[in-house]
Structure 1
Amino acid sequence: MKVNVHAVNFTVDRKLVGYVQGRLDKLEKFYDRVVCSDVFFKLDNTNLKENKIAEVKISVPGDEFIVKKQCKTFEEAVELAADSRERLLMIRKQKIRATS
């Protein structure tokens, strides 16, 4: 699966890009028709510790899923977003099987 990583107003290091690629590749276990993923990293301008935002958009044939998570680290935000994507992809797979 092709994963595009975008950072708004800062640069992303290769370690984070590698982590994102590895974590989102695991989503193909749950639904093998994932076309591509776009990940947007943003920093919220607040005094809160949880100021890192990860927005994950996953494209599948006929639909797009978007999840936005805000956490202390980008890795944690990606992990939470991927977990919720897993549930949605499993539900989609079950619906497709039921209609077939």
Structure 2
Amino acid sequence: MYALPLAAALGFVALVHAADTTSPCSAQPSGYGPLPSPNDEATFKTFPAFASAANSAVAPPLYQRVFANLNASEFATAANVYLGYYELKAYDAAACTALCDQSSGCVGANL
């Protein structure tokens, strides 16, 4: 077995279904996690609940944490390296990496 990297990114990310995929700035429904106020980019990036979740996340077996509490999704999106998008009802590294294990070519996950 090989150890695969787990990238616990920007805390507890409120994952949601896209309401309008044609406009990158359209309003989206609330996700399952805590909601910062005001709900804008600056507050989202500095929201203590997200940082706490990211910094306390434990890597599941066969994975290792490479970094925590960074803006990883910005970099991965820019590099076009995402293999999929899944909505989770909780910040659950084991559930996230289980999805990665089922996806051909997946070697890590951003939470």
TM-score bucket (shorter structure) = 0.3 to 0.5
Higher share of residues assigned helix: 1
More strand by share: 1
TM-score of the aligned structures, taking structure 1 as reference length: 0.35
- TM-score (ref. length: structure 2): 0.33
